Structure 1
């Protein structure tokens, strides 16, 4: 697996982990100017730790849906270009603003990812769409936001089975979500995020090229 420029492996107390260079955000371990990207706290971090080929190279324009308090999106902004962070809950956005303060390329947006028209006037075309939104209809959110992706861009999605249906078999939930995603995307890879995150599926996809949307 090729790591993005700006993501390295460092030793933290005798344990090797991924790291980005930036100000700490959530009490993570540090090695000089480098901060550990904890895969147990980050779905995208787990995707990288598990060796999924995300296609991230570094310096991309990123739209991040479900930014919460900034745990993962702060790591992304450490190595990416302009990074738009969408979060609908006011309380975590206050922490997100703190994470953005030393990162001039990180732009918090107090918006609902289910309503992309509310921030379409702000967000520029993105190379990467990262989504970690714990809500029913995760595929619909990704499909609605496909409008922001460049034709050669990619979606990096974490599907949380219990957000779709707490009673259903996760495998069945994942199948349904992937089927809906295929209305707008070509699925390149999908992999369980266990042991870092139970009942989660990491997905790498690209916008469909056949003009069906």
Structure 2
């Protein structure tokens, strides 16, 4: 049994679920009731179905549990997701933006995009899968409209630069970005904190206003989430 469901005090569309053992878990309302994306537990409470959000499988959930102060993803928003993989985090973002919002998912791995197309997209009409390389945004220019936020989670050496290039094309004025930095993908010889600082400096150089930075340990080692206003 579920003991209680409460809205997150800071973030619309995100919930705290108290389980029978007293533990609290993050969750989103399931946009596709009865469907799981990555084996997550489904919870029914007062006629509404929720999906538990695993911070060990989703860097966005990890960042929220590490006291992230800003999640610029809300109902009806349009989001460009760079590096969507098989759709774990993208599916929760799909829950957050709802049927009138949209998530454009760019993924370069054939296996991951196939899983996204086969397992997620048929049950979520607000997700568009794009089998493209985030380093070449001009290739998907005609498929993506202006977005409210760009979420970037790619294992590439030039993560910040790739984000900037996409922002310059797709982000609305006064939009937001979320950059999940994997330090070892950028430079294994440097300390993670040094890599984070360098990525922040690249963003600042291009006019980004840094709003928050959280390190994702213990959920994701050598990762940080950087939230910026543009």
TM-score using structure 1 length: 0.92
CA distance in 1, matches of 2:15, 2:76: 15
Residue 79 of structure 1, CA deviation: 1.7
Post-superposition offset of 1:12: 4.2
Among residues 37, 56, 66, which one is paired with 2:53 in the alignment? Answer: 37
Contact persistence 1:65–1:113 (CA under 8 A): yes
Q: How far is the alpha carbon of 1:57 from its aligned partner?
A: 2.9
* Alignment: residue pair count: 206
**Residue 45 of structure 1, CA deviation:** 1.2
Residues 174-211 of structure 1, C-alpha deviations (whole Å, 9 max, x = no match): 1111111113311111111112111111111011xxxx
| Alpha-carbon distance change, 13 to 162 in structure 1, aligned in 2, over 3 angstroms | farther
Select the structure of larger CA radius of gyration: 2
The corresponding residue for 2:131 is 110
Q: Per-residue displacement from partner, 1:64-112 (whole Å, max 9, x unpaired)? A: 0000010100110112111100001111111111211111001110011
User: What are structure 2's unaligned runs of at least 5 residues?
Assistant: 1-8
Q: 1:156 aligns with which of 163, 174, 178?
A: 178
Spell out the pairing of 1:1-213 with structure 2 (5 A cutoff).
2-5=10-13, 7-12=14-19, 14=21, 15-22=23-30, 23-32=35-44, 33-52=49-68, 53-80=70-97, 81-97=101-117, 98-147=119-168, 148-184=170-206, 185-207=208-230
Contact 1:160 1:199 in 2 (8 A): yes
For residue 211 of structure 1, what is the aligned residue in structure 2? Answer: none
Deviation at 1:51, TM superposition (A): 2.3
Equivalent-residue separation in structure 1 for 2:147 and 2:95 (angstroms): 17
Indicate how the Cα distance of structure 1 residues 29 and 121 shifts in structure 2: closer, same or farther if over 3 A, else same: same
5+ residue gaps, structure 1, are 208-213
**Alignment check: 8 A CA contact 1:83 1:106 kept:** yes
* TM-align CA RMSD: 1.3
TM-score, normalized by length of structure 2? 0.85
Deviates more, 1:95-104 or 1:11-20: 11-20
CA distance in 2, matches of 1:117, 1:49: 35
Tell me, in whole angstroms, the C-alpha distance in 2 between the residues paired with 1:84 and 1:105.
8
